[in-house]
Structure 1
Amino acid sequence: MDSSPHKLYHVHGFDSRQFLEHYFSDKSDMAFGDDVLKFPIEKLRQVFAVGHINGDILIDLSIGSLIHHLYSASEFFKNIIVLKANNRCIMELKRWVDERTGAFYWGHTSTLLQEKEENSDQCQDQEAKVRSAIQHVVKYDLEKENMTDPLVLPPADCVISVWLLEVISKDQDDYIRYLRKISRLLKPGGHLMMIGALDITYYLVGKDKFQGFTYDENFVRKVLAGEGFIIDYCNVKERTAVSDLTDYKATIFIAAHKEK
């Protein structure tokens, strides 16, 4: 095994299918169900159910080729633009969007949403709603002033970022700089929803070991306030997964809005 902890998600890339199999599959030995499947689905459903977060455009910047965090969002936004750091993740996501042979199976996650809904008929075809809402899958480069150059994105009503900042940041300065870039995607008053892994130092994908930036709840609260965000909701879930694949201590969910 490569013992180096210094690989970075957006620089070195990883095997996107292996990542999904490790952390998001329906396999009986997949240890992370409560933390990475149920928790995001439940928290995003709760926040969107209030009804004041909606609009035309939602931008998603998340690790890998995830889709389960977009189930509730697809009910409230007409257009979802997904930004990905590397081609392998783009190909993996498009395989699912286009319903091609060999696409990753997400049916177990739509079932989790149905269990929370009083009217399960509303989410019988939740995956189809997400496919319909995803209008563009775009590659980004964090080192560019406009990360999607030459494409200029319209200002978003909402941005969702799932397990991203901790895997692209080497230190506090990186975290703040990248959060600032992400916040520029929002229109004034727009909403930001973030899910992160607290106190992580590494995660494994196959034989590759990737760096995680360690931070706590107080740090992210201070950074968001410093960037002009008001936190509307915050919840921390202590880790329940038993696995050596990664060492995070807890999962945090934050919903905030940008001051006008």
Structure 2
Amino acid sequence: MMDSSPHKLYHVHGYDSRQCLEDYFSDKPDMVFGDDTLKFIIENLREIFAVGHINGDILIDLSPGSFIHHLYSACEFFKNIIVLKANNRCIMELKRWVDERTGAFYWGHTSTLLQEKEENSEQFEDKEGKVRSAIQHIVKCDPEKENMTDPLVLPPVDCVISTGLLDVMSKDHDDYIRYLRKFSRLLKPGGHLILIGSLDATFLIVGKDKFHIFTYDEDFVRKALVGEGFIIDYFNVKERTAVSDLIDYKAFISIAAHKEK
């Protein structure tokens, strides 16, 4: 099928995962997205998991790029995390960090952000180490296949977490629903879906390339989840504060929902 998007598509064309980390997740002085891509994600996921009802054996992470800080809280409730990636460069970058190889991206600034929120920071555990231990498999996937991990067949899992992947893959409303339905099929009855996304965005720049982002609002994503049989348990919106021409979102959203049995 011919791509009608004027910009590149993440899962089709791929992007420089290291450049993405430097521009949107680093501790560089000129990295202006910290309140949204770092603090918002860490604090919201900590709040979502703190309730205690999202837990189980296996969690699947379906996110673009090679970031890991969205898994800090998850690894306290899931010992086994399977990471699915559509991009080979993202797999290589993530494996470099998991294996603690020379040149791996530095995430110390994000674990410090989480430590500040812990009640007993003196006994703060090595969150990066726990995430490394929890990541059991990093698997290449093809979101266009009916079974995204074909020929590997994954068992239904307790939780799927996805940070921005639906946004960068979906070309329109129908695409979003189609991918959301595939995510839903990965879950057990009663399983939980956690989504982080951006509202009213149209593009993302990584290096010299401009990538497509599907434009949607709060009402659309609520209706999409309900239409696919989810009950929304948590919904939070953070208005944008960052000043940058790299990406044009208006707000970040954090959602937790469970699949009706």
Give the TM-score normalised by structure 2.
0.97
Counterparts of 1:123 and 1:191 in 2: how far apart (Å)?
27
Residue 88 of structure 1 corresponds to which residue in structure 2?
89
Task: Point out where structure 2 has 5 or more consecutive residues left out of the alignment.
Answer: none
Counterparts of 1:78 and 1:250 in 2: how far apart (Å)?
32
Question: Cα RMSD (Å) of the superposition?
Answer: 0.9
Q: 1:124 deviation in Å? A: 3.3
**Letter of the aligned partner of 1:160 in structure 2?**
I
> Percent of aligned pairs with the same residue?
83
Q: 1:122 deviation in Å? A: 4.7
Q: Structure 1 residues 121 and 150, CA, compared in 2 at 3 Å: closer, same or farther?
A: farther
| Deviations 1:155-174 (CA, angstroms, capped at 9, x unpaired) | 11000000111100100000
Q: Structure 1 residues 122 and 216, CA, compared in 2 at 3 Å: closer, same or farther?
A: farther
Question: Structure 1 runs of 4+ off > 3 angstroms?
Answer: 121-124
Counterparts of 1:214 and 1:34 in 2: how far apart (Å)?
21
**Contact (CA 8 Å) 1:57, 1:77: kept in 2 or not?**
yes
Residue 205 of structure 2 corresponds to which residue in structure 1?
204
Counterparts of 1:59 and 1:119 in 2: how far apart (Å)?
29
Residue 47 of structure 2 corresponds to which residue in structure 1?
46
Residue 164 of structure 2 corresponds to which residue in structure 1?
163
Counterparts of 1:121 and 1:70 in 2: how far apart (Å)?
21
**Letter of the aligned partner of 2:254 in structure 1?**
F
Counterparts of 1:155 and 1:25 in 2: how far apart (Å)?
34
* Residue 131 of structure 2 is aligned to residue 130 of structure 1: yes
Residue 29 of structure 1 corresponds to which residue in structure 2?
30
**Letter of the aligned partner of 1:24 in structure 2?**
F
Task: Point out where structure 1 has 5 or more consecutive residues left out of the alignment.
Answer: none
Residue 15 of structure 2 corresponds to which residue in structure 1?
14
* Residue 244 of structure 2 is aligned to residue 243 of structure 1: yes
**Contact (CA 8 Å) 1:5, 1:202: kept in 2 or not?**
no
* Residue 251 of structure 2 is aligned to residue 232 of structure 1: no
**Letter of the aligned partner of 2:54 in structure 1?**
I
Q: 1:86 deviation in Å? A: 1.1
| Deviations 1:50-83 (CA, angstroms, capped at 9, x unpaired) | 1111110000001100100000000000100000
Counterparts of 2:246 and 2:7 in 1: how far apart (Å)?
15
Q: Secondary structure at the match of 1:82?
A: strand
Counterparts of 2:248 and 2:222 in 1: how far apart (Å)?
22
| Deviations 1:147-204 (CA, angstroms, capped at 9, x unpaired) | 0001111111000000111100100000000000011110000000000011000010
**Contact (CA 8 Å) 1:57, 1:80: kept in 2 or not?**
yes
Q: 1:123 deviation in Å? A: 3.4
Residue 61 of structure 1 corresponds to which residue in structure 2?
62
**Letter of the aligned partner of 2:112 in structure 1?**
T
**Contact (CA 8 Å) 1:35, 1:251: kept in 2 or not?**
yes
| Deviations 1:83-128 (CA, angstroms, capped at 9, x unpaired) | 0011100000000000000000000000000000001245331000
**Contact (CA 8 Å) 1:141, 1:147: kept in 2 or not?**
yes
**Contact (CA 8 Å) 1:5, 1:209: kept in 2 or not?**
no
